[in-house]
Structure 1
Amino acid sequence: MTQPATNRFPTPALDTLPDDIRSRILAVQEKSGFVPNVFLSLAFRPDEFRAFFAYHDALMDKEGGLSKAEREMIVVATSAANQCHYCVVAHGAILRIRAKNPQIADQIAVNYRKAQITPRQRAMLDFAMKVSRAAETVSEQDLAEVSGHGFSNDDIWDITAIAAFFALSNRMANVTSIKPNDEFYLMGRLPK
């Protein structure tokens, strides 16, 4: 085992992983040109890897409701609040690409309240931040405010689930000390 992705836990070699996990990682590598460090770090625990990415995909790849860029906005804003270096950098890259905006991820990571987003997106992020930082205080008024911006019950569920799921991801990335791949820093910043 090598340790390119994390300093605290062993990172399994690709050729030692179960076939399904190795195939998934190789597919990501083929699409992106590199293996995001989170994949190898979480592969340390194969059953948890499978569960993590199944839920990730269910939340982040679904069609309808929130756009894929809006889903990434939630990840970037809440990950910044949770001080997760890996998730801010990695999902910031994905956000820049999905939003086709080279500045949006930095704006949201630093202070989403001043980012160039719509009032609807700001309401979405206000709610996601409350879920991420103080879920025990979410009230009927909070739900009414976010639904007043046109979010359906399914959308509100998705905002909640994404904020909650990435709270888990942020904590795992921070404790395991996963480093962002260098490739993420330039993705989506310059036109092709």
Structure 2
Amino acid sequence: MSAPTDTTDTPRETVHDFTTEALDWKPYVGMVDYESATPSQRAALSMTPSNKGISPYVLVLAHEPEALRERTPLFNDIMYSEGGLSRGGRELGALGASVVNRCVYCAAVHAARYIQLEKKPEVVEEIYARETKADLPAFEQALFDFAVDLTSDPSEVGGYHLYHLRNSGLSDLEILDLIHSVAIFGWANRLMHTLGEPQRKA
């Protein structure tokens, strides 16, 4: 496991439009220095999303190790656990939330993962072209519309939406997985917006 190389002194373009390009994320606040991190911070950093290297975002969240220690296993379980909604379906839920919240970095990550998993770049192309008005195949439309509605106006989401998802072929477990994937990105999008900005890679 490795900490990121510090590139904060290299000016790079901030990205404001949705893309499938891999992006970097530059924090507005200081990151925890892994070498001088406290034992509690190191313990929280020992498990990372996707079990990849420690990102700048995670090093920022490590300022509150107790929250990070709970957040990372929860995130991994919601997005990567076996059974229930497909990985691609969860990524589409995350993408829908990120489009509504205009989190360019999260949208880029989860659009790319959706394409990798489902081999349907045309779905992402349509979402990026028309955003919340995207016209998708029926199954993808059901997942995306639910993500949009839950993110835009959660107080209006209820029995009708669940009925529609069941009619689209989702089990109750799959519906719960979709809700979790959308909901956690309501949280993640707001943290990423507030704490930093997406940039093009060097």
Q: TM (normalized to structure 2)? A: 0.74
- Mapped pair 1:45 → 2:40: no
Give the equivalent residue in structure 2 for 1:165.
184
Partner SS state of residue 47, structure 2: helix
Give the equivalent residue in structure 1 for 2:93.
74
- Mapped pair 1:11 → 2:31: yes
After superposition, the C-alpha distances for 1:41-63 in whole angstroms (9 at most, x for unaligned) are 22232222222211111100111
Give the equivalent residue in structure 1 for 2:139.
120
Contact 1:36–1:181 at 8 Å: present in 2 too?
Answer: no
One-letter amino acid of the structure 2 residue matched with residue 145 of structure 1: H
Q: State the percentage of identical aligned residues.
A: 22
Contact 2:26–2:196 at 8 Å: present in 1 too?
Answer: yes
Q: Which has the higher helix share?
A: 1
**1 CA distance for matches of 2:115 and 2:166?**
26
Q: 1:90 to 1:38 in 2, by over 3 A?
A: farther
After superposition, the C-alpha distances for 1:156-190 in whole angstroms (9 at most, x for unaligned) are 1111111111001000100112435739xxxxxxx
**1 CA distance for matches of 2:89 and 2:109?**
15
Q: 1:22 to 1:52 in 2, by over 3 A?
A: closer
- Deviating beyond 4 angstroms after TM superposition, the runs of 4 or more aligned structure 1 residues are 2-5, 101-104
**1 CA distance for matches of 2:27 and 2:57?**
12
Give the equivalent residue in structure 2 for 1:145.
164
Q: 1:95 to 1:112 in 2, by over 3 A?
A: farther
Give the equivalent residue in structure 2 for 1:187.
none
Contact 2:92–2:144 at 8 Å: present in 1 too?
Answer: yes
Contact 1:132–1:163 at 8 Å: present in 2 too?
Answer: yes
Q: Which has the higher strand share?
A: 2
Q: 2:52 aligns with which of 28, 43, 53?
A: 28
One-letter amino acid of the structure 2 residue matched with residue 136 of structure 1: S
Instruction: Provide the aligned length of Structure 1 versus Structure 2.
Output: 176
Question: How far 1:136 sits from its partner (Å)?
Answer: 0.3
**1 CA distance for matches of 2:109 and 2:36?**
25
Question: How far 1:99 sits from its partner (Å)?
Answer: 2.4
Q: CA RMSD in A?
A: 2.7
Partner SS state of residue 24, structure 1: coil
Q: 1:144 to 1:104 in 2, by over 3 A?
A: closer
**2 CA distance for matches of 1:21 and 1:138?**
34
**1 CA distance for matches of 2:192 and 2:133?**
25
Contact 1:59–1:162 at 8 Å: present in 2 too?
Answer: yes
Q: 1:19 to 1:36 in 2, by over 3 A?
A: closer
Gaps of 5+ in 1: 30-34, 184-192
**2 CA distance for matches of 1:113 and 1:151?**
22
**2 CA distance for matches of 1:41 and 1:76?**
23
Mapping for residues 58-97 of structure 1, pairs under 5 Å: 58-97=77-116
Contact 1:76–1:108 at 8 Å: present in 2 too?
Answer: no
One-letter amino acid of the structure 2 residue matched with residue 131 of structure 1: L
